Amino acid sequence: MGAKLNLVTGASGFIGGRLVRRLLVERGESVRILVRPDADLSSLDSLNFDLVEGSILSPESLEKAAAGCRRIYHAAALYKLWLRDPAVIYRTNVDGTRNVIEAGLKAGVERIVYTSSSAAIGLVKGGSGNEDTPATLQDMVGHYKRSKFLAEEVARAYAAQGAPIVIVNPTYPVGEGDVKPTPTGQMIVDFLKGKMPAYLDTGLNVVDVDDVAEGHILAAEKGVNGRRYILGNANMTLREILYMLADITGLPKPYCRLPYYPILGLAYADCAISMLISDREPRVPVDGVRMARKRMFFDASRAVKELALPQTPPRVALEKAVNWFRSNGYV
């Protein structure tokens, strides 16, 4: 491992895994990853990296992982729209972020890139939110969005005190390597299985996950300390996404739009059942339905202008996702 040693947290996740691959294969840099002992590293097969077992909730393992690193990419997070114990998501996303920053400062790293989320960005009715759109904790729907908002406040507070932190806010990435998969990836899998004959009137900002990975590296190289950068691309309604998937795959298009309130009622019932049955997660999380009430549209022009964020066409990104899910046995 040389002077260009990068620590990546969350390397077993969707964005983190693609970031590790990009640093190693595209950039020829050295990478160390911090992962839990039970982490699924199948997305990192054949890659040569240094591995430290531990957790972002363990300052001791973080200090070991950060030692000798030039940069830290903190992509670890708990991305769940339902949890039996919501406190877990705050410990992971808020306390874990504080621990990573403290370890990085102690190790004297030159740059920390914190992977926040577009979930922490304010929404604009009839328009697109940007890095300066005002938002409060009360605007955040659900524990995931609240935890990411609070974690970003931690990062911004450290940056205000001079810490070398840049914040990136990915929107809704799609593409190869979505092992778990993420809620967005699961939507694509459900469509491929014929489980999405209808849709809610909502919208997402679709971006290729490899553009998001490159955006992290560009933020490390070009980003301004304390500044946010939305890593996104195309604003699309859910109907447009599903119609594009139908065009790509030849599968039937969804035939109707679902009403909001009956689906919300179904989600509450589904979550109530999950609270009574161990090891069962709701098929329709309440927070997911509540979030879908608004179109989650964002403007990524700052990252395009200041970082030269790539803008792969959304159809290409969706095609890559479809092919990857099909070739890896998800369908």
At residue 82, the pLDDT reads: 60
Please indicate, yes or no, if residue 154 is contained in any of the structural domains.
yes
CB count within 10 Å of CB 275 equals: 11
Q: Quick check: 21 and 46 in contact, CB under 8 A?
A: no
What is the residue range of 85's domain?
Answer: 5-175+207-235+297-312
Average pLDDT, whole number, for the chain? 90
Percent of the chain clearing pLDDT 90 (strictly above): 69
Please indicate, yes or no, if residue 21 is contained in any of the structural domains.
yes
Please indicate, yes or no, if residue 255 is contained in any of the structural domains.
no
pLDDT-derived band at 189 (thresholds 50, 70, 90) equals very high
Please indicate, yes or no, if residue 278 is contained in any of the structural domains.
no
CATH of the domain at 91: 3.40.50.720
Section 139-162 average pLDDT: 92
Please indicate, yes or no, if residue 283 is contained in any of the structural domains.
no
Q: What is the pLDDT of residues 103-147, one digit of tens each?
A: 999 999 999 999 999 989 998 988 999 999 999 998 888 888 889
CA distance 317 to 305: 21
pLDDT-derived band at 257 (thresholds 50, 70, 90) equals confident
At residue 3, the pLDDT reads: 56
Phi, psi of 234 (to 5 degrees): -105, 125
> CB within 8 A of 29, min separation 6: which ones?
4, 5, 6, 23
At residue 273, the pLDDT reads: 78
pLDDT-derived band at 1 (thresholds 50, 70, 90) equals very low
Please indicate, yes or no, if residue 171 is contained in any of the structural domains.
yes
pTM for this entry: 0.91
Please indicate, yes or no, if residue 195 is contained in any of the structural domains.
no
At residue 286, the pLDDT reads: 61
At residue 294, the pLDDT reads: 76
Section 279-302 average pLDDT: 78
Q: How many domains does the chain have?
A: 1
Residue 2 pLDDT > 50: no
At residue 45, the pLDDT reads: 83
Identify the bridge partners of residue 205 per DSSP, sorted by sequence position. Answer: 235
Please indicate, yes or no, if residue 185 is contained in any of the structural domains.
no
CA distance 182 to 186: 6
Q: What is the pLDDT of residues 37-88, one digit of tens each?
A: 888 888 898 899 999 999 999 999 999 999 999 999 999 998 776 667 789 8
pLDDT-derived band at 160 (thresholds 50, 70, 90) equals very high
